[in-house]
Amino acid sequence: MKAVKRVVRRKSRKNTLHRPIKINCDLGESFGAWKMGCDEAVMPLIDCANIACGFHGGDPSVMRETLALAKKHRVEIGAHVAYPDLQGFGRRSMALRGQELVDAIHYQISALDGMARSIGTKVAYVKPHGALYNDMLVDRELLETVMNAVASWYRSLDLMMLATPKDKRAVELAFGYGLGLRFEAFADRGYTRAGYLVPRGKPNALLDLDTAVKQAADIAAGNLRSVKGHKLSIVPDTLCVHGDTPAAVEILAAIRAALQAPPD
């Protein structure tokens, strides 16, 4: 059985971004005449691209273009899988479970990975999107279904999911599937006291430029707090900024500059 690829890094007490951490972003979400995000400007600033697979956003041409950008900038590729909900941008929960969900996830990975291979690259990990991402955090059966889907892919892929104070439970489940995990935190989203994201539409769910950059620094330093000031103990492997967040390019540029700056 494969060991879980869990990288635990020591937390720095300094409020800096010099602890090694990769930046990821949700990209390739445009569809037809609908333009979403600024993929060309974002791609040079990130390490990992979560590319939509057509169920919540993206289409064949957008997938190809986004994959080509990722290859050009040597950015790692993740399949950003979702419920089949184009109209709701994948942010509405659906009664999709069991083998039907496994099939839907495999279908999406297949589409992106097939197109990636056609241009000489490949998918390295899977990140659920929107409602599927949030639902699996509070529904163990759904989380196991997602883990099973990723683990049963014909070759090894990691699963990216939210870093919380209760990561141990996810690690134990993933070990049973021989599945590698990548835990992520969010620079541009507010956190609840329990360590989950504040639901969209609620106050402080989306953070502005200055607050997001400060939160990124706090995450890297091990000083993340909820929107109400509660200390959250998490150890993420990667830091996410949403591609559709207002000022996403500015946020990413500021975080990247901090990462590349010499230590004080």
CATH code at 121?
Answer: 3.20.20.370
Using CA atoms, how far residue 103 sits from 106, 122, 221, in Å, is: 5, 20, 39
Give the helix ranges, DSSP H, for the chain. 39-42, 60-72, 98-118, 130-138, 140-151, 167-177, 209-221, 248-260
80 strand-pairing partners = 52, 127
Residue 129 domain flag? yes
**Cα angle for residues 244, 33, 73 (degrees, 5° grid):** 50
Report the pLDDT averaged over residues 130-145: 96
Residue 182 host element (H or E): strand 180-186
**Based on the structure, what is the number of domains in the chain?**
1
What percentage of the chain has pLDDT greater than the value 90? 81
pLDDT at 93: 96
Residue 228 domain flag? no
| Residue with the larger pLDDT of the pair 243 and 84 | 84
Residue 241 host element (H or E): strand 238-242
- 92: Cα separation from own chain's centroid: 18
Output the CA torsion sign for 67, 75, 127, 85. Answer: negative
State which residues form the domain around 126. 22-186
pLDDT band at 261; cut points 50, 70, 90: low
Residue 172 domain flag? yes
